[in-house]
A and B are shown apart, each in its own frame.
Chain A
Amino acid sequence: MGLKVELKPGERLILGECLVTNGDQRTRLLIEGQAAILREKEIMTPELADTPAKRIYLALQIMYTSRDPRAHHDTYFTLTRELVEAVPSAWPYIDAIGNHIITGSMYKALKSAKALIAYEKELLDHASRSQDLRRGREAHRQSA
């Protein structure tokens, strides 16, 4: 059973080690076999990866699309270790990602990494909100 992918005009897709760009009409593809498949909207670039969890996603993506994933394990583990040390409650997410990698389903690992990014966003939003509050309070105190 293959994977069905529908592409919008001009939409791009990574298929194995190639970049596929759709022409000027909608296309429906049926892909069979073993190859890394990434839709355009799922792709993270080094420029976009500006938070620890997004970097983990990028590292996973490199592992997923590379011929020898082992070469990138070091980077991946440096990143996850740093994250787990800073945010121990991210442990279950990292665990889920790791489990998918061990069982060889890299695409599912990427999906779990997406959940990790969402969790990180919650924490970051929370942190910046409380910083704003603190700053606001200090400003208030100074003006008083």
Chain B
Amino acid sequence: MSDIVLSAGVRSNLLQLQQTSDLITQTQNRLATGKRVNSALDNPINYFTAQNLSGRANDLNSLLDSMSTAINTIQAANNGITAITKLVQSAQSIVTQAQQTTDPTIRATLSSQFDSIRGQIDQLAQDSGINGINLLNGDTLTVTMNETATSTVAVAGVTDLSNSALAINGATNNWAGAVDITAASTQLTAALTTLRSQSQALSSNLQTVQVRQDFTKAMINTLQTGADNLTLADSNEEGANLLALQTRQQLSTTALSLAAQADQNVLRLFQ
């Protein structure tokens, strides 16, 4: 009869499961007896739990780096949009100038200026990337929010912010006819609207990532505080600490500010 062979991964999962169930039994035991850690075996388990937990804090820490890169990428894209918007606006003023004159030579000069601005828009759109991800060039940025990567925020790039996507066509006919100029003007107005909505989408994404980054930072801090003490955990002492904290919090400003915050919230309707 051959034994069942366990792969390394399964074995380590099994070990973890066993440790967890040990931990639960132990906690229940302690709560029932109210006894201090009474065998040497209790300590190593707590020790490894603490290690496991501070390991998680480290995992979160490394996620922070990728979050700040993500924030930079979004900001770069946003800067790109701002610059492109300015270019589109100056293109608009060129169009206005062209509309005010009938001289074909001046119109031709203005039309060539317009075309050179178009070229700059294309270049800007291509240069707005960081780390190989350019949100203005159709790339998608994926930000991982937890260490198991079960939660991610995907910032979809603008398909393409070059002239072709913004639908700004080159000056036709050297702007000889008024129709040619009006066409350019309409295209520019539409382009501005597109830019504005893209910019809004980016800033809302930026805020999401920023909020989570701030939270993760503070979270790591709290987690590290607790992990160090875990090896000393004892239900008797913890119960007593908890009672003391309960009394202390009633007198502290935290409870007051919490009540005030609830009062500014929809929750006040419940009182």
Q: A residues touching B (Cβ–Cβ < 8 Å)?
A: 12, 14, 16-19, 43, 45-47, 49-52, 55, 58-59, 61-62, 65-66, 69-70, 72-73, 75, 77-92, 94-95, 98-99, 101-105, 120, 122-124, 126-130
- For the complex, give the distance between the alpha carbons of A61 and B267 in Å: 9
Hey, which chain B residues are within 8 Å of A84, CB to CB?
222-223, 225-226, 229
Q: Do B249 and A18 have beta carbons less than 8 Å apart?
A: no
Q: Are A88 and B242 in contact (CB under 8 A)?
A: no
Q: Are B249 and A52 in contact (CB under 8 A)?
A: yes
Residues of A within 8 A of B238 (CB): 86-89, 123
B157 → A minimal CB distance (Å): 21
Return chain B residues, CB-CB under 8 Å to A52.
Answer: 242, 245-246, 249
B residues in contact with A16, CB < 8 Å: 266
**Which B residue sits closest to A130, measured CB to CB?**
B34
**Count of A-B residue pairs with CB < 8 Å:** 173
Known A-B contacts A75-B254, A86-B238; A51 and B212 likewise in contact (beta carbons under 8 Å): no
Does B6 count as interface, using CB distance less than 8 angstroms? no
Report if B14 contacts A (CB, 8 A).
no
User: B148 CB to closest chain A CB, in angstroms?
Assistant: 9
When distances are taken between beta carbons in the complex, the residues of chain B under 8 Å from A99 are 146
Residues on the A chain within 8 Å of B208, using CB: 104
**Sample of 18 more A-B contacts, CB < 8 Å, known A14-B270, A51-B246, A103-B145:** A12-B270, A19-B266, A43-B270, A52-B249, A65-B266, A70-B215, A77-B218, A83-B245, A85-B226, A86-B242, A95-B53, A95-B56, A95-B223, A123-B235, A127-B240, A127-B242, A129-B34, A130-B239
Partner of A91, one of B212, B230, B270, B271: B230
B239-271 contact mask (Cβ, 8 Å, vs A): 1 or 0: 111111110011000110111011101110111
Interface CB pairs A-B, < 8 A, 13: A14-B266, A14-B270, A19-B266, A52-B249, A55-B255, A65-B266, A73-B214, A82-B249, A86-B244, A89-B230, A89-B238, A94-B223, A103-B150
Q: Which 3 A-B pairs have the closest CB atoms?
A: A127-B239, A103-B151, A84-B226
Please state if A102 and B216 are interface contacts (CB–CB under 8 Å). yes
Q: Which A residue sits closest to B224, measured CB to CB?
A: A84
CB neighbours (8 Å) of B255 from chain A are 46, 55
- Give bound CA distance, A80 to B221, whole Å: 11
Q: Is the CB of B261 within 8 A of A124?
A: no
Per-position 1/0 for B190-232, Cβ under 8 A of A: 0000000000000000001001101110110111011111101
Closest CB in chain A relative to B143 CB, distance in Å: 11
Which residues of chain A have C-beta atoms less than 8 A from B159's C-beta? none
Complex alpha-carbon distance, A104 and B144, angstroms: 12
Tell me whether B31 is interfacial, beta carbon within 8 Å.
yes
Complex Cα distance, B257 from A119, in Å, reads: 25
- CB of A66, distance to nearest CB on chain B (Å): 6
Could you say which of A61, A88, A89, A91 has the most chain B C-beta atoms within 10 Å of its C-beta? A88
Known: A43-B270, A98-B223. A62 touches B261 (CB 8 A): yes
